[in-house]
């Protein structure tokens, strides 16, 4: 019975649905309706909880600090009011729920993030460049440039004159 439910949920979601995990920073594009007009508002924050992973209506709790006030949204992933959810970066964490972040600042949380763009699928990695294609360029600055300096006696005289002027 449980296999049937899991298969049904996969069909409902679609094959291209990405999984979300706590510790990821995401941008949630939500449709906001104001009168007759409809616009898309972006809410960027860190996922502190993922609930209902196998169910037909999973939710994520996204938190951000806006003007010193913590704001949390519980977002149903398959809601019609959610246009898309985009991963920005992810952190290596060791907990499933990050409720402890409510009492911390961003600096005190000490999370080490990796950009989502930095994680490139293997298909998109280009072949290495051959050595023949690399052209050597001459450096614009010489290693030991010749600098003209004034004789030591004139520098000493200038220092003595400056000291006398101060007195």
- The candidate with the shortest Cα–Cα distance to 46, out of 90, 103, 77, 95, is 90
- CATH number of the domain residue 11 falls in: 2.30.30.790
CA distances from 51 to 20, 42, 70, 88 (A): 10, 22, 20, 20
Q: What is the residue range of 69's domain?
A: 2-122
**pLDDT digits 0-9 by tens, 87-146:** 888 888 888 888 888 877 665 666 767 776 655 454 544 545 545 545 555 555 555 555
**Long-range pairs, 37-40, Cβ under 8 A, ≥24:** 40/83
Residue 160 lies in a domain: no
Residue 161 lies in a domain: no
- Pairwise pLDDT comparison (18 vs 166), residue with the higher score: 166
Answer yes or no: pTM beyond 0.75.
Answer: no
Query: Domain tally for the chain?
Result: 1
């Amino acid at each position: 019975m449980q296999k049937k439910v899991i298969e049904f949920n996969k069909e409902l979601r679609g094959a291209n649905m990405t999984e979300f995990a706590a510790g990821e920073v995401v941008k949630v594009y939500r449709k906001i309706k104001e009168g007759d007009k409809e616009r898309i508002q972006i809410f960027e924050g860190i996922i502190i909880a993922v609930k209902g992973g196998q169910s037909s209506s999973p939710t994520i709790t996204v938190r951000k600090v806006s003007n010193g006030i913590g704001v949390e949204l519980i977002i149903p992933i398959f809601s019609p009011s959610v246009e898309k959810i985009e991963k920005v970066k992810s952190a290596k964490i060791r907990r499933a729920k990050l409720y402890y972040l409510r009492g911390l600042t961003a600096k005190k949380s000490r999370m080490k993030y990796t950009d989502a763009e930095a994680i490139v699928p293997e298909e998109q990695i280009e072949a290495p460049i051959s050595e023949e294609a690399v052209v050597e360029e001459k450096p614009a600055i010489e290693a030991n440039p010749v600098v003209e300096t004034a004789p030591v006696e004139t520098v000493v005289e200038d220092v003595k004159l400056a000291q006398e002027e101060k007195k």
